[in-house]
Amino acid sequence: MGMTSSERVRSTEEAVECLRAALEGAGVALPSLGVDPVTAATGEPYALVELGRCNVRTAVRLADALRGAGEQA
């Protein structure tokens, strides 16, 4: 049995919150981070996560955080 629409949205919202917390831990805030409302309303198993737009400083911090995470692996 597949997930209901509300279960899919809740699952995606949980993923968004995990990502938001991880980004904040790396000193990065994506103000537009959220669940894409169009895909959340479809029958797809998982909605898309909308990362949104950010300013240049945030983009540089995100790149630095990703490079740092890659070095730790």
Each of the 73 residues of the chain gets a pLDDT tens digit; together they read 566 667 766 788 899 999 999 999 988 999 999 999 888 888 777 789 999 999 999 999 999 988 887 666 5
Ramachandran angles phi, psi of 34, nearest 5°: -175, -175
Q: Number of structural domains, the chain?
A: 1
Q: How far is the CA of 53 from the CAs of 17, 34, 50, in angstroms?
A: 17, 11, 9
Domain span holding position 11: 5-72
| CB neighbour list of residue 31: distance below 8 Å, 6 or more residues apart | 52, 54
- Give pTM, 2 decimals: 0.75
| 3-class DSSP state of 43 | coil
